[in-house]
Chain A
Amino acid sequence: MNLFLNQISAIVWKDFVTELKTRELFSAMFVFALLVILIFIFSVNLSVVKASEVGPGILWVAFLFSGTIGLNRSFMLEKENGCLMGLMLVPADRTAIYFGKLISNFVFLSIMELFILPLFMIFFNIDLLGHLLPLLLVIFLGTLGFCALGTLLSSLASNLKTREIMLPILLYPLLVPIVIGVVRMTGQILTGEPLSEMMNWIGLTASFDIIYIGVSIMTIDHILEE
């Protein structure tokens, strides 16, 4: 068990050191998310529609699309110079590799989201400070599900020539239950509804998070094999 946890932490450490040196992942995700929000702010007339009605969709489009860039890059890093083969040669459980990459992806995306959130508040003139804790819970659940499924599918797509195209094609349809859940919950939070009113959606999203992680544990061994 100790070796398993050490291997997970080694992968996370390696991804962080690489990112600190290159800053490729964060800057690409952040710039993309910012552009999405800027484009929408100029295309939506906020004097006609309420920010709390269009805001949740825009926010999650920015998070998920920029997160896809991050997922693509994440496994590309392992494919360069055959590093994934190097990982396959170590006496590590394949699930340790999956969890290492999942945690890295989750932390990188969460950091980007924490930078985007204040900008979203300013641009859409929404006061989120009063609803910050429920909103962070929803973002946590949505990001976890996205990264759990995304890490699995990006490892699958990394072996394909058309990986940049295949990842979103595979990912987005399977992600629909979570996307519907988090967009609905974010909307309810922005209109001031209490968390107790959205327990069904929280249950649904959390259930899919668990399903995605469970399916990944069961299949990652076969997916990473040549």
Chain B
Amino acid sequence: MVDNHNPSDSAIEVRGLRKEFGVLKAVDGISFDLKRGEFLSVFGPNGAGKTTLIKILAGLTRPSSGTARVAGYEVEEGQSEMRREIGVISHSTALYADLTPMENLIFFGKMYGLERPQESALSVLEDVGLAPRRNDRVRTFSRGMVQRLSIARAILHDPSILFLDEPFTGLDIHASNVLKEHLQSLHNKKRTILMTTHDVSCGLEMCDKVALQVMGRFAFFKDVKEFSKESFETMYFDAVRDNQFTMGIRNR
């Protein structure tokens, strides 16, 4: 077996990543590095290719070209080893609605090959504050509770990297604040986090690095300290408008 593990300071290294669906370029030549323990927020309008980017990095879909290394593993070759290092929270919860939180987490614990799935499940349920509801069916949970349970599922195997795809979607203010606290505590535990979001306040508050993805490309990738929320919003709208203008000329 070829050992393709290449440990380095970078948790995520992306070079010239492209993903095309026919004529549509969902990801169009993205390159960036994210160091271990850093938090990157990726903003962008709907259809910018943010979810596709996460799917490629999580090994759920193959890129058309370019390379990506996650936790030192090539995403295409080191699939099994790489999957032990990542946790993913997406639009869909990936939870069985007719099972209880304990049953869901024990199942995923067994699938990850954890030695004590029951204990690990209980421990993460306590972390996200759902231990008292551990024997209720997931079907009876509110959206906020399901999202917290999704976090529990994603961190069950203690991954070093988390991919979060719009985790605040559909949450009320209270649930958003609770989720924010959980994400902050995960970041404090030195986990590398890549999050896509439309929530500018939350995204800027928690992250170290910011990227804006428009039409498959990163319009910018900067340190969060380099600008204020107001200047970010100006840059956001300028970048989106410029790209739409460029696309408009191309389409004529």
Contacts and interface: CB of A to CB of B under 8 A. Distances in A.
Interface stretch (A79-87, A109-117, A148-156, A205-213): A79-87
Contacts, number: 79
Interface in B103-121: 103, 107-108, 110-113
A91 B71 CA distance: 15
A10 B93 contact: no
A18 B98 contact: yes
Given A225-B62, A226-B60, A86 B108 contact: yes
B103 A83 contact: no
Interface string A185-226: 000000000000000000000000000000000000000011
Interface stretch (B76-84, B210-218, B225-233, B242-250): B76-84
Overall SS of chain A's interface? helix
A11 B107 CA distance: 8
Given A3-B113, A226-B55, A89 B98 contact: no
B90 A10 contact: no
Contact of B108 (A81, A90, A226): A90
Contacts of A89: 58-60, 83, 86, 88, 94
Interface string B48-66: 0000000100111110000
Contacts of B94: 81-83, 85-86, 89
Contact of B110 (A7, A80, A226): A7
B92 interface: yes
A87 B97 contact: no
A80 B97 contact: yes
26 contacts: A7-B110, A13-B107, A13-B110, A14-B99, A14-B103, A18-B98, A18-B99, A21-B99, A21-B137, A77-B96, A82-B90, A85-B88, A85-B92, A85-B94, A87-B111, A88-B60, A89-B58, A89-B59, A89-B86, A90-B83, A91-B80, A91-B84, A91-B113, A92-B111, A226-B60, A226-B61
